[in-house]
């Protein structure tokens, strides 16, 4: 896992906790909108960093037969053109 992925997860966690703090203040009929507006940039930045630093998925190999058939089909055509 990359460093930006971990920092993004951290900001998402902190932003989520601050957002739930806003929900708790809203439940007691004393909403603190400053807490809400503090959570939004943290959630946005956290999502951006998390999405940017996410590890790439490995190919599953589900359609390996189909891709091999396509390569074999393309290879003879490339050999004919490259005489």
pLDDT tens-digit profile of 41-56? 999 999 999 998 887 8
| pLDDT-derived band at 80, boundaries 50, 70, 90 | low
| CA proximity to 46, closest of 82, 2, 16 | 16
Domain that holds residue 71: 3-81
Say how far apart CA 26 and CA 36 lie, in whole Å.
10
How many structural domains does the chain have?
A: 1
Mean pLDDT within 31-48? 94
What is the pLDDT at residue 15?
96
Average pLDDT, the chain: 85
Say how far apart CA 63 and CA 51 lie, in whole Å.
27
pTM for the model: 0.66
């Amino acid at each position: 896992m990359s460093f930006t992925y971990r920092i993004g997860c951290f900001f998402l966690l902190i932003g989520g906790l601050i957002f739930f703090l806003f929900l708790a203040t809203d439940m007691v009929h004393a909403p603190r909108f400053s807490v809400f507006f503090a959570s939004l940039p943290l959630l946005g930045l956290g999502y951006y960093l998390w999405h940017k630093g996410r590890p790439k998925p490995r190919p599953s190999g589900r359609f390996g037969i189909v891709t091999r058939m396509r390569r074999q089909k393309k290879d003879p055509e490339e050999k004919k053109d490259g005489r």
